[in-house]
Structure 1
Amino acid sequence: MGTAALSGPPVTQKAGEPESFWDNYGYLLSAFWVVFLIFPVLSIARSGLPAGLTILGYGLIACFAATYLQAFYRFRSGLGRSTNGHPGAWPFFALLLTLALAGIPLLRENTLSYGPFIISYAAYLLSQRAMWWITSTTLVLSVCVAFASGQVEEFIFLLCILVVLAIGNALNITLIRSGLAADDLRLDFAVLTEQDRMARDVHDALGHSLTAVGLKAQLAERLLDTDIEAARSELQQINALTVEAMDSIRVTVGGLRRTTLGEELSLVRAALDDAGVRTVLIGDAGDSDPVRSTALSWIVREAVTNVLRHAHATTCWIRISEGGLSIEDDGDSLAGSHEGHGIRGMRERARLQGARCEMGASEHGGTKVELSW
């Protein structure tokens, strides 16, 4: 039986995956600090300024809030992730400082109310060096202004907020970047795992076939002068081995392409049909855990490839449920046989997903691969 070519995704590729909740909605946390603009608003309201200056003060505060929120929204992807910050965030920061400084004649010492915004902006959108410099400068200036104005008691609450915020931002940024470092390590491990799988698959696909081709070619050469029919038979076997090796290469190289579980099921069904194996699909791809779709696709592809290569089956059953999936056939049972790289690869993929992969005898006489979590 020839081996049909299957294709599907490795775990190492992340293109097209949805962004995280933090990427999409992390900027909304910036809106929380807008509450603290109540202090400059109250300061303007109680200042007794002429109507024109009062309107100007409110306008400056509104522009500050709008600039702050717009910057966080525009640069919402990857907040706090890069030690270099967002290059495009500096013009917004300059505008925020300009608006804050412009309000000094109206707000006077209450301009310190902008401190939490300045510190948070620097922490999440500017470089790490800028964050420390701006945070420390803001804290020092706030303390100096509080003592210079003789209103330490009035500003003690704001000073405490600034200190807590500075520490909280530093811890949060550290956690975000530590998480990114862990993600990078997992990705590197996945890449190494995929490279190891590719090396094993190429060895499995070509090692035996090329060795057999070489031996049969030598035998055919010796038989040419003594037994033409035997030589022709050897050449035909060489041709079959070559086709099988090419199919195996397609399987291996095809594994570099990404598919969803639903797409993978369509591919394996087509491959089984081409090989004359009837497919019985029980359940739906939508019944499985979407988070595990990539790993499930790979395991389905590997299990069906084993059916096509080794089982000599007439029917293949694929069952999908919320708790896992199974692939079984009615061909030659592989249960109890030597555990090859493909089976070990399936177990490893399952383990990385917090699942368990077992292989045993099928009630239909062949092999059953079962994944559960």
Structure 2
Amino acid sequence: MKQAPPAPEAFWVRYGWLLAAVWIIFLIYPINALATSGVDAPRKIVGFGLIGVFAAIYLIAFYRYSGHMGREPNGMVVLHFALLIAVALAGVPLLGVNTLSFGPFIISFSAYLMSARWMWWTSALTFGTAVAVAVVGNLLSELLFLICLLLVLIIANAVNATLIRRSIAADALHQNYTILSEQERMARDVHDVLGHSLTAVSLKAELAERLLDADVEKAREELRQIRALTQEALDSIRTTVGGLRRTTLQEELRSVRAALQDAGVAAVVTGDAESLDPVRSRALSWVLRESVTNVLRHAHATTCWIHISPDALSIEDDGDSLAGHHEGHGMRGMRERARMAGANCEIGASEHGGTRVGLQWG
């Protein structure tokens, strides 16, 4: 099976906290305000301690929970957010209006670690508080830079957070599509393997049943071949599920000729299967398997013509045509395999009266 693609938020999980750490430089404003204030040394120590605790909570939260970007916040994220608010409020008696310097960190926390709803509410409340303090306290000139910084940060965070969320959603959608494609591939592989093998087993079982009264030794030989076919089918299923199956056209050609012979259908093969490159050989082998399985199941044919060339494959029969029949899973699978291999698959009427399946490159 193919290795699962990396998680869409892998980059943010690994390096998001480093991007957050860059903004720690803005804590220079409350540090400078506290250092130049007239409070005594013990209170300054407490104030510096609160700033350090604030920075630690901020960085630890980004380090641990960056992978929550684009999701509803869990309890631990909300707890860290509440601690940030509590530490900021505890600094009001020491920092005064400079407590608003914690605003950019609180806004960024809500933008990147919480949902869009939290981001907008937090941004609005923080910005509104800063404007209110500036107007009421007549501190517009002192806080103008911070207010402008908060406004720019709100816009930048909104844009970045929206882009990141959309990118994560797009990557998640692509990952789901990859998983569905892999599941469809496995379904086609299992269908092709079991369809052919069970058809051959059914034919041999019927032949063995007819031979029981006439030729016991031949019936026993058919039963031995049935056992071998079932074992081969089991092996094929295991390798198919593991994504390791690499059937070549030569191998498949030997298998389908034997199956046609057991069913009493003459096989006319032209062309050289060994001259094909591995990629085309594998694609052709699956189409050959499915086509011959359909001949054995539905066509009631007496002859099957198989023509192989370096850039094409055709399988025709003289049995029942497809007129009036809907295209089933097997035919859709053949078209899909051809498309994935860069070829075109055409299914229609044969000049021999039955059905023709043609695979063509170029």
Pairwise TM-score range, normalised by the shorter structure: 0.5 to 0.7
How far apart are the structure 2 equivalents of 1:27 and 1:74?
Answer: 8
Q: Could you report, residue by residue, the CA deviation over 1:42-97 in whole angstroms, capped at 9, with x for unpaired residues?
A: 21222222223233322222222222222222223x15221x11320223222222
Corresponding residue to 1:56 among 38, 46, 50: 46
The answer as to whether partners of 1:119 and 1:131 remain within 8 angstroms in 2 is yes
How far apart are the structure 2 equivalents of 1:55 and 1:204?
Answer: 75
- Which amino acid letter does the alignment assign opposite residue 194 of structure 1? E
- Which amino acid letter does the alignment assign opposite residue 252 of structure 2? H
The answer as to whether partners of 2:5 and 2:175 remain within 8 angstroms in 1 is no
The answer as to whether partners of 1:64 and 1:96 remain within 8 angstroms in 2 is yes
Alignment of 1:263-278 (within 5 A): none
Q: Could you report, residue by residue, the CA deviation over 1:77-133 in whole angstroms, capped at 9, with x for unpaired residues?
A: x15221x11320223222222221222122211211111011111222234332222
Alignment partner of 1:107: what SS? helix
| Distance apart, 1:342 and its partner CA | 8.3
Corresponding residue to 2:28 among 17, 28, 38: 38
- Which amino acid letter does the alignment assign opposite residue 167 of structure 1? I
Aligned residue number for residue 291 of structure 2 = none
Task: Report which of the two structures shows the higher radius of gyration computed on alpha carbons.
Answer: 2
Alignment of 1:313-332 (within 5 A): none
Q: How many residues align?
A: 287
1:210 aligns with 2:198: yes
How far apart are the structure 2 equivalents of 1:54 and 1:231?
Answer: 98
1:100 aligns with 2:88: yes
How far apart are the structure 1 equivalents of 2:61 and 2:17?
Answer: 9
| Distance apart, 1:223 and its partner CA | 2.3
Aligned residue number for residue 211 of structure 2 = 223
Distance 1:142 1:244, change over 3 A: same
Using CA pairs below 8 Å that are at least 6 residues apart, which structure has the higher relative contact order?
Answer: 1
CA RMSD after TM alignment: 3.6
1:305 aligns with 2:295: no
Distance 1:307 1:240, change over 3 A: same
The answer as to whether partners of 1:139 and 1:163 remain within 8 angstroms in 2 is yes
1:20 aligns with 2:1: no
The answer as to whether partners of 1:75 and 1:86 remain within 8 angstroms in 2 is no
- Which amino acid letter does the alignment assign opposite residue 310 of structure 1? E
Distance 1:146 1:206, change over 3 A: same
| Distance apart, 1:203 and its partner CA | 1.9
Distance 1:62 1:169, change over 3 A: same
Distance 1:240 1:90, change over 3 A: closer
Distance 1:74 1:239, change over 3 A: closer
Alignment of 1:1-373 (within 5 A): 9-10=1-2, 13-14=4-5, 20-76=10-66, 78-82=67-71, 84-255=72-243, 301-302=244-245, 304-306=246-248, 309-310=251-252, 336-337=312-313, 345=337, 348=340
Percent sequence identity over aligned pairs:
49
The answer as to whether partners of 1:26 and 1:79 remain within 8 angstroms in 2 is no
Q: TM-score, normalised by structure 2?
A: 0.68
The answer as to whether partners of 1:27 and 1:73 remain within 8 angstroms in 2 is yes
How far apart are the structure 1 equivalents of 2:9 and 2:250?
Answer: 37
| Distance apart, 1:311 and its partner CA | 7.1
How far apart are the structure 1 equivalents of 2:209 and 2:65?
Answer: 70
| Distance apart, 1:234 and its partner CA | 3.0
How far apart are the structure 2 equivalents of 1:94 and 1:135?
Answer: 15
Q: TM-score, normalised by structure 1?
A: 0.66
How far apart are the structure 1 equivalents of 2:233 and 2:221?
Answer: 18
Aligned residue number for residue 261 of structure 1 = none
For structure 2, the residue ranges without an aligned partner over 5 or more in a row are: 255-271, 283-307, 316-330, 344-362
Q: Could you report, residue by residue, the CA deviation over 1:209-251 in whole angstroms, capped at 9, with x for unpaired residues?
A: 2122222222222222223344334333323322322222222
- Which amino acid letter does the alignment assign opposite residue 210 of structure 1? L
The answer as to whether partners of 1:311 and 1:333 remain within 8 angstroms in 2 is no
Distance 1:70 1:242, change over 3 A: closer
How far apart are the structure 1 equivalents of 2:211 and 2:49?
Answer: 97
Aligned residue number for residue 257 of structure 2 = none
| Distance apart, 1:186 and its partner CA | 1.3
The answer as to whether partners of 1:112 and 1:142 remain within 8 angstroms in 2 is yes
